[in-house]
Structure formats: C-alpha cells, structure tokens
Amino acid sequence: MRLHIVPGQFMVEHLPHSTFPEDDEWVALIRAPEGLTVIRDASPFAETDRWVGFYGDPGDLDTPGVLAGIVGPVAEAGVPVFVVSTYHSDLVLVPEHRSEVAAGALRDAGHRVEN
C-alpha cells in the first residue's frame, strides 16, 4: 500500500464532559461514553505530545485487513498508534518522536511511504 505522511503535526485531546468542542479548529471528532476526543493541528506554541499522520490511498471499504496491515508492523516495532478512520482510508497517528521508526517498519513490511 502507498502511504502518505500528512504535512504538519497533530495533537490528541480528551474533553471528558463535552459533546462538541467550543471552536471549529479540529480535524476529527470522536464521541464516546467517556467524553469527546478531538484531533487538532498541533499549535507551534502548545506544549503537548505531537503526532505524525500516515494516510493511505483511498480504498474499498469491503477489503479486509487493510488497517491490520498498517498497524501490525508499527505495533511490532513498539510504536503506539491512534487511528481515525474515514470513508476512504485510515489516518494512522504515531508519536512524532517515533515517526521514523514507524516509517521504517512500514517500509520493511512492503509499504511505500511518501512525504
């Protein structure tokens, strides 16, 4: 699979008592019983963990194992992931300081990783 490294960096935020953020500066929202998870572009001034995103070429929702084929090699390399799925593909986030390890694991597994 061909994966693109998404320009910029992201931050993952948990808002335990919210159902919607107060602003519209978000990339993805996930609402769950324990609160709202918000994915945002990382501010250059925010002191937070930063995540780098890998995004695959659009695929077919009926194709099994696509996400497992990406997450598996990254997990085997000891890199945590946070995944946001879209209709067309998955955005796989890894901690910025481990992004090179993740990219290497994906290449070793046969994926093409492009900037």
Tens-digit pLDDT profile for residues 58-83: 877 778 888 999 999 999 999 999 99
- What are the helix and strand counts (H, E) for the chain? 2, 8
DSSP code, position 22? S
Pairing state of beta strands 82-85 and 90-95?
A: antiparallel
CATH of 2-114 among 3.30.2130.10, 3.40.50.720, 3.40.190.10, 3.30.428.10: 3.30.2130.10
- In this prediction, residue 45 has a pLDDT band, given cuts at 50, 70 and 90, of confident
- Separation of alpha carbons 78 and 2, rounded Å: 22
| Separation of CA 56 from chain center | 11
